[in-house]
Structure 1
Amino acid sequence: MEFNPLNLAQKDRLDSALKADHFLVGDVSFTNLYLWQGARKICLAFVEGCVVVQTTYPNESPFYFYPIGSGDKRAVLDALITYTKAQNQPLEFRALQSEHKDELEQLYPHAFSYEAKRDRFDYIYSVTELIALSGKKFHKKKNHLNAFLKLYPRYSYEPISPTNIPDLMQALKEWHKLDDPQDLGLEHEHRGILSVLEIYESLPLLGGVIRIEGRIVAMSFGEKLNPDMALIHIEKADPSVRGAYQMVNQQLLVHAFADCVYVNREEDLGIEGLRQAKMGYNPVFFVEKYHAHLV
């Protein structure tokens, strides 16, 4: 098995493998991997018609995502078991969605231990519900949206494009100054967003910004996981502008993903405030994720 560092030249092969498979987790899209490569080493191997993603945090053993594609998964998994044993490393899979966990159990009965990771579950919402925000269950979110509309009736929405990316980068840098400088996660995220914006046109992204009197106050971008499901990677806003997050959330769906049934807004990482915010949008289901260890 030959693992090579993530690079843009691998994108088409990974995209093709994902299209041939049924991945609902957001972790393995090329954009997501590219976004977070500053936080960890990410490498890809192409084996038996599949793609294997290897991820390594500093001072830790690598872990893997389930093989992606329509190739011979048993052969890929056998090769991966042989490879990790030869490297004298444990074999760990992360972000296994339920069907991949079930498949792994069937292929290798009693060979792996499994643990559900609630902090890593992806939140899935109805696109029509998040656009309309109707009813009592969305009352708080709708209040923030209405407050924004009342305060800033002349706001504008525009797609992210080469013409506004310089302004957007500057806005992101200003907002990042307000982040906790000790929070490495936010630092990696900030650098990752800027790196994605630098190659934005090379990625299958749909994004938008909200302006007030010409100033960018919110941004978001995502892509289609499949024809029915959008995946939102990033959402950022000026914290001093009430309702900016709710506005860009709604407007991106209206302008870019209204033809999707569902939207995956990724995980909460066990951060209590983030969990409350995500639960407040009333997910229709979760993509459950598991860790698996070869015993």
Structure 2
Amino acid sequence: MTLDDKQIINEFVNMNSIESYEYLFSSLYMWRKLNRVKYAIIDDTLIIEKNEEGKGTFYARPLHYKKENLVNLIEILKKRNEDYTDRDYFFGDVDQDFINDLKEYTDYNIEIIEDVDDFEYVYKTEDLIELRGKKYHGKKNHVNTFEKTYNYEIKAITNESVIKDCLELLHKWHEEVLKTIDKEMCMEIDAIKDIFGELQYLNLESIAVYVDEKLAGFTVGERVNDKLAVIHVERGELEYKGVYAFINRKFLMECFSDTEFVNRQEDTGNSGLRKAKKSYHPVKMVKKYLVKLS
């Protein structure tokens, strides 16, 4: 997958009503190296192949498939899989609608696994901007603390100086928070560096928050349509009290205030991240499933 594939992928995505951010070109491109993303068009259907740690290689939900041809499509993919041994799951990142079609239009034996760690958190944009009521009292206090304590400035990630600062913060974040820089984490840094150079082409929005000319945090996201925004990256320096609550709210105010919902992606099974995402009170979870098929 390269930047040249953007139009092809977008055409198929736009023809389908997919809730998950996983199918956005920006996401596929960003993680193409880590997840070894490939694609093919078979019978006017987009097939995306991915590899994820702990899951092996699988096919994502086919896009623009004909229900009556679903068996033929799967047989082509099954034939391809004969040459590989890392295929514990046939499909991944699929929704309930696709599972329903598998049950109705095919006779395969299907085992369905809820990919709970990969469920995506969706919030009302207005809730995360206004922070009204008792349930958001703590978040509002964090925002107020940041705004009253620090002399801050907002910049877009549009020049080499800001990009350099963001990458330095990323390295520091991995060393201090994760206590390691392993291969996967290095690839994450490389993935984020990739999109910094293509923010405009990928139609991504960004802000970097500086305190006394030092980077305190940054975030990158995109508008999917009139109703939905997606947050792709968010990192902050924990030494600045309330930085995450501030960035979360400020980014939505500056770039996505007219959307109805915001998808803040999954928690990957990380207990701290899960607690943080739940604390913002999602209104919906985008459920994703893994499928074994025989």
Q: What TM-score does the superposition give when structure 1 sets the normalisation length? A: 0.89
State the 1:57 CA deviation. Answer: 5.0
Question: In 1, Cα distance between the equivalents of 2:67 and 2:187?
Answer: 33
Question: In 2, Cα distance between the equivalents of 1:293 and 1:58?
Answer: 17
Confirm whether residue 122 of structure 1 aligns to residue 120 of structure 2: yes
Matches within 5 A, 1:147-162: 147-152=145-150, 154-162=151-159
Question: In 1, Cα distance between the equivalents of 2:52 and 2:263?
Answer: 25
Partner of 1:290: 289
284-293 or 157-166, which deviates more = 157-166
* CA contact 1:94–1:292 (8 Å) conserved in 2: yes
Change (3 A) 1:60 1:241: closer
Code of the residue aligned with 1:217 in structure 2: it is: A
State the 1:257 CA deviation. Answer: 0.8
Give the match's secondary structure for 2:252. Answer: helix
Partner of 2:33: 38
Give the match's secondary structure for 1:62. Answer: strand
> Paired residue for 1:106, among 93, 104, 107?
104
State the 1:180 CA deviation. Answer: 1.8
Code of the residue aligned with 1:12 in structure 2: it is: Q
Question: In 1, Cα distance between the equivalents of 2:154 and 2:54?
Answer: 44
Code of the residue aligned with 2:195 in structure 1: it is: V
Confirm whether residue 260 of structure 1 aligns to residue 275 of structure 2: no
* CA contact 1:44–1:51 (8 Å) conserved in 2: yes
Confirm whether residue 225 of structure 1 aligns to residue 219 of structure 2: no
> Paired residue for 1:50, among 45, 50, 53?
45
Code of the residue aligned with 1:157 in structure 2: it is: I
Partner of 2:95: 97
Code of the residue aligned with 1:245 in structure 2: it is: Y
Aligned length: 288
Give the match's secondary structure for 1:40. Answer: coil
**CA-atom RMSD, angstroms?**
2.3
> Paired residue for 2:58, among 53, 56, 63?
63
* CA contact 2:220–2:233 (8 Å) conserved in 1: yes
State the 1:195 CA deviation. Answer: 1.6
Partner of 2:271: 272
Question: In 2, Cα distance between the equivalents of 1:259 and 1:60?
Answer: 37
* CA contact 2:37–2:50 (8 Å) conserved in 1: yes
Question: In 1, Cα distance between the equivalents of 2:277 and 2:43?
Answer: 38
Give the match's secondary structure for 2:209. Answer: strand
* CA contact 2:209–2:216 (8 Å) conserved in 1: yes
State the 1:160 CA deviation. Answer: 2.5
Q: What TM-score does the superposition give when structure 2 sets the normalisation length? A: 0.89
Give the match's secondary structure for 2:122. Answer: strand
Change (3 A) 1:54 1:73: farther
State the 1:288 CA deviation. Answer: 1.0
* CA contact 1:43–1:54 (8 Å) conserved in 2: yes
Give the match's secondary structure for 2:38. Answer: strand
Change (3 A) 1:131 1:109: farther
* CA contact 1:64–1:93 (8 Å) conserved in 2: yes
